[in-house]
Amino acid sequence: MLLSHRQLCLVLLCTTQFVALLDFSITMIPLPQIQHSLGFTPGGLQWVINAYGVAIAGFLLLGGRAADMFGRRRVFLMGVVLFTAASLLGGFAHSPAMLVATRALQGFGAAMFSPAAFSLLLAVFPEPSRRNRALGAWTAVAASGFVAGLILGGFITDMLGWRWVLWINVPVGLLVLALSPALPLGRPDADTAAAGGTLDVWGALLVASGAATLVFAFANSEHVGLAHPLTFALVALALALLALFVWVEGRVAAPLMPLAVFRRRSTGGANIVSLLANTALGPTFVVVALAMQEVLAFSATRTGLGLLPMAIAFTLASAWAGPALIARCGTKPVIVGGMLLFICGLAMLGMSLAMLATWGVSILPGTVLAGIGYGLAFPAWTVAGIDGVPEADHGLAGGMLTTTQEVGSAVGLAVGVAVSIAVLAGGGTAAQGYSAAILVSACLVAAGLACAIAILPGKAARQEAAA
């Protein structure tokens, strides 16, 4: 049976999100092989992942605004072309600098096509009921991309070598480009163009520089230590750059992040929760992957399979349980309940990693519980983040949510690596270092839970505001 036009658009747009998430997770498994092949330091190795994440975080808002201004399909295609070309070049990397640079280019391409794809999806499904189902498919496919990345990362590394984890994106990108005429044009928004007709490049550079500096502050602690004055100075510089970004956004004619939109309780709260919740996601997968390979001596394939239960739990919860609970209970209760489970899973995992025994005892229970919790909360804060946002700003709203997700993951990974290295420097074991990294992540998620309770409006408050 042939797909309808809407179904074809849904498959095509979800495929790009699948690839974006696949490319984030697929590089987690072969990190030890990449380190050995190209000569990365332990602290520098995180940039294989964070160069991608920081580029997305820094330029997603710009990509979302460009999609609104210049046409969503046009920006979407430009992003796919850049992402595909960078994937091809990355597979030929012969030095750490070249690999990090191509990963950053991949992230920039994803920053262009991801918010454009999100807004095109909303345009294809304007009806609330169909939109919620489409968003459920979107989150499920995103989670599936993450799952596939873990599995394929292991299999491809063992069978073909780590370079193929990048080259696998090329045929997918070419297929998307071939089928792209099926997508709606997503014409430039007249109101957005009238508001200024220019892109806030300086704003994008400030947020990218701030995020990169914050990540570098913790990455550099490998050499100087977490308590070194240079670490504090870099953190202060990063916060100053991000504060300057907020100041600039309040004064330019066409800001990347209109503060009025961000000040909505639902939108602002959802982004804060996304930021803090995702400080744990990246570190959890990376730390557990390293623990299984370096402590339990798992192969790359076995490591990917060992992370599969968590990813499956995440997928099922985000695709089915989360949307069903949102429809019945609203977004805030689902976010709060999901994050409570996420924290409990992280705490269980962190304590068991300190005395790493077997995968079934030390890793499986905590990762599955954490996956369920995150999977429940993820679609709920996605829905909350666009609740009440005008259609003309959907690209912006999608970009904001993904930005906070990527910034949180990048900063969380940097913090986790720094904590782990600090434990090793203090005479602790690798397992104890991994344990400390996860427990710190759990504390950051707890802060996100507190923000969710305090900031997010309940169903009654949303109805009152709508009235």
pLDDT score at 347: 95
Is residue 464, in this structure, part of any structural domain at all? no
What separation in angstroms does the CA of 191 have from each of 69, 155, 454? 9, 48, 34
Q: What is the pLDDT of residues 7-61, one digit of tens each?
A: 778 878 888 888 888 887 788 888 888 988 998 877 788 888 888 888 887 787 7
Residue 46: both structure tokens together: 């995180």
The answer to whether residue 97 sits within a structural domain is: yes
| 461 assigned to some structural domain | no
Average pLDDT, the chain: 83
For the residues 412-439, what does the mean pLDDT come to?
87
Tens of pLDDT, residues 121-153: 877 777 666 777 777 777 677 767 777 887 888
Does 465 fall in a domain? Answer: no
Residues 6+ apart with CB under 8 A from 426: none
Q: State mean pLDDT over 277-292.
A: 86
Distance CA 35, CA 100 (A): 12
Other CB atoms within a 10 A radius of the CB of residue 451 amount to: 18
pLDDT tens for each residue of 296-317: 888 888 888 888 888 888 888 8
Q: Is residue 466 part of a domain?
A: no
Q: What is the CATH number of the domain that holds 451?
A: 1.20.1250.20
Q: Is the pLDDT of residue 195 over 50?
A: no
Contact between 412 and 282 under an 8 Å Cβ cutoff? The reply is: yes
In this prediction, residue 453 carries a pLDDT of 93
Amino acid at 38: L
Integer Cα distance of 115 and 397 in angstroms:
8
**Residue 6: is its pLDDT beyond 70?**
yes
Structural domain includes residue 313: yes
What is the residue range of 409's domain? Answer: 5-456
* pTM of the predicted structure, to 2 decimals: 0.78
* Number of domains comprising the chain: 1
Is 241 within a domain? yes
More confident residue, 56 or 95: 95
In a domain, 149, yes or no: yes
